[in-house]
Amino acid sequence: MQNTFEYFLDQLINGVTLGSIYGLIAIGYTLVYGIIGMINFAHGEIFMIGAFVSIITFLTLGIMGITWVPLALVIVLVMSMAVTSVYGWTLERVAYRPLRGSPRLAALITAIGMSIFLQNYVQLLQGARTKPIQPVITGGMELMSSKMPDGGTYVVSLSYLQAIILILTIVLMTVFTIIITRTPLGRAQRACEQDRKMAALLGVNVDRTISLTFVMGAALASVAGTIFLIRYGVIDFFVGFLVGVKAFTAAVLGGIGSLPGAMLGGLLIGIIEAFWSGYFTVEYKDVAAFGILVLVLIFRPTGLLGKPDIEKV
């Protein structure tokens, strides 16, 4: 039996790593909802497409003989972000812009339809089988070790991949915070969030701002897809559905529309899953995550960092 503190720390590292993936995807949900008030339920499929672009790029680089890991990772991330950004822009242009003035139910049905379409589209192109990949980043650093009652040694380690995921998440959150708070695009986004009609009267290009918001969310989802692929080593055409639902849950838990809330919600969902799997049974980890969401929404309907909507009259 492992020592309690070491095992706790091990699960905490696993939870934060998984939560970082959820958080990156959840930011896409919260960006879109914050500006146009719609839930992009096809966002999980953008994450899945990013993972497929990553595995195809990895295989192509292997054929070309580019095996230096840092260079390969940079090329894969750039390629994945570029392709999924095009998908994000197209999704907004085709599925959301024509319905911007329609009832929200119409946009919701369209989003679900686009999710199903993209799933089957990728299934037809790539097949229904799972796609594995060999480990790309191996090794790690030992944080602590202790003797177990049976005479063995329990080692708590941080893999290089986990460290890269955490550093990449922090860097992306910092960059996006700077973009939203200190750039003309960020000011335009905040203006559209408050009042799109008034923003347009003041010279903000609302269509371009919304399209760029979809592109930003898709780029983050592609990074999450690349990380997921490298972390777990296997993907399929359906992987975006469950991960997307959990990321949406994270966005709601943290407060839909709040950028820090999306990342906080993602971390909480990841930590809950890791600890439940480690201390109880892995079969019910999803029940635990959604159960916490229900409790939070009962006592705080706006989420942990969300703000109540103010109805304009």
- The tens digit of pLDDT for each residue in 60-79 reads 999 999 889 899 999 999 99
pLDDT band at 310 (very low <50, low <70, confident <90, very high): low
Would you say 58 and 133 are in contact if contact means Cβ atoms under 8 Å apart? yes
In a domain, 309, yes or no: no
In a domain, 312, yes or no: no
CATH of the domain at 225: 1.10.3470
How far apart CA 28 and CA 262 sit, in angstroms, is 9
In a domain, 304, yes or no: no
Q: What angle do CA 128, 130, 136 make, to 5 degrees?
A: 145
The total number of structural domains in the chain stands at: 1
In a domain, 137, yes or no: yes
Entry field: residues in the chain: 313
β-strand partners of 157: 142
Dump pLDDT digits (tens) for 137-195: 888 888 887 777 776 777 888 899 999 999 999 999 889 889 988 899 999 988 988 88
Q: Which of the residue ranges 102-106, 112-116, 238-242, 262-266 would you say has the lowest mean pLDDT?
A: 102-106
pLDDT band at 311 (very low <50, low <70, confident <90, very high): low
β-strand partners of 122: none
Q: Give the phi and the psi of residue 303 in degrees, each rounded to 5.
A: 90, 175
Q: Which two tokens stand for residue 296?
A: 């939070």
What are the Cα distances from residue 131, in Å, to 47, 79, 126, 233? 15, 19, 9, 8
Q: Are strands 140-147 and 234-235 parallel, antiparallel or unpaired?
A: unpaired
pLDDT attached to residue 256: 83
Domain ranges, residue 239: 4-299
